[in-house]
Structure 1
């Protein structure tokens, strides 16, 4: 890793729960020698990427990042932010990959990619996405959102499975708790016979769920092994997809998405 990359990597140490870092904190978290870390912190401060509190001498994210983030938001359409990572994921999965955002209680298409040669594939209508509670995307979103949002969604008939019974709140909360523990949502033939999907939430800079990414595939492709493979690819891509839209994955979910051997090596 280059010197510049090592310095910039220090920026990833900051989070909503850790907004400031002292030199000793940064040295401990990186495992690098103190002199090198100090040199990198000073360089980042000089460039405006960090600023130092005059009293505590701790560092926090600097104004240059605000300017760059604003510039990116104004000049790079969201589709372009996530296109490359979504295309890569579709090629790896060999299936349809779909990014959506929530507006009200409607899932709205942001971008979808389908890079494969399978003769059997899932048909996709970007303008006719199903109700929130009928999809793995909707369930993934709700599993990592507030209880208040869930209560509002349950009370709104537009979110229900078409032609189905009103959702049972207790059963729904149990399903969402299982999704949160597992790290992804799944849907097998419950909305459309022959179609299955897995989905994860994507997050903003404050670690709030704001979008979803799903992989849809023909159920005939296989059972639990196919689901596990696709879910693993999704979870491995979750951090990069959230980062592409300027977000960060909450630490507890990142631990679920990251295999133990990878966490041990990091």
Structure 2
């Protein structure tokens, strides 16, 4: 039987530890959980940090998973069940709305884009799979924060940056928006994250009726809105897409 490399086993164990439980862990927590001396644990963490697999918070000194894992993880997205189930429905949504479609999931304190369908025209566009969006200002982020308790805790604790004059950063205002999102089943972002851009998103649920992601349409304000209001046909199309993906994931009719 081939011998294993102990340092790689320990590094893998650290990544699994950081991937579960608390979002950030200190050196003492990591070393005691894995039964390692602090010096040994620190050396492995420093190496993982240099490679981008681990990040250290400047204020607390605690460690969390790094952005390099997101880039490596993109190779897994092709077989990710949520993305696979959503492919046909998101293509249909892009055609019916005439706008770009994004599929997002919660990752750390933001929204990770796992699928992006280009706007169906001849304009030059940039693929945004693997990009991160904020929770408090985007339509995708609001949906996730309204339905996922973990996302909700992240938005409460996050540093809520004002990206435009329309961005809401007060916790009371955001809680009101999340209540509204749950009541109507969709969320909006009209120039709250990017000037001139509007978005609509709705939640996707799995067979346990748990929120597993969100799907949304994004485009220029003058196309997504009409007379200052979001176009109702786009809202309906986004909600229909979210329901269809949810049904394919076993959520049943709702």
Scaled by the length of structure 2, what TM-score is found? 0.59
Q: How many residues align?
A: 173
Q: Supply the RMSD in Å over aligned alpha carbons.
A: 2.9
Residue segments in structure 2 that go unaligned for 5+ positions in a row:
1-77
Give the distance between the partners of 2:121 and 2:114, measured in 1 at CA.
23
Contact 2:164 2:193 in 1 (8 A): no
The one of 130, 133, 139 equivalent to 1:130 is 133
1:211 maps onto 2:213 in alignment: yes
Give the distance between the partners of 2:186 and 2:125, measured in 1 at CA.
20
Give the distance between the partners of 1:166 and 1:240, measured in 2 at CA.
31
Contact 1:122 1:195 in 2 (8 A): no
The one of 204, 222, 232 equivalent to 1:228 is 232
Residue segments in structure 1 that go unaligned for 5+ positions in a row:
1-74, 255-266
- Residue 186 (structure 1) aligns with: 188
1:237 maps onto 2:238 in alignment: no
Give the distance between the partners of 2:229 and 2:190, measured in 1 at CA.
13
Aligned runs of 1:52-201 on 2, under 5 Å?
77-78=80-81, 79-117=83-121, 125-146=128-149, 149-157=151-159, 160-162=161-163, 167-201=169-203
Contact 1:95 1:116 in 2 (8 A): yes
Cα distance, 1:123 vs structure 2: 5.8
- Residue 32 (structure 1) aligns with: none
Cα distance, 1:150 vs structure 2: 2.0
Cα distance, 1:161 vs structure 2: 4.2
Cα distance, 1:225 vs structure 2: 5.9
SS of residue matched to 2:133: coil
Please say which of residues 107-116 and 169-178 is displaced more in the overlay. Answer: 107-116
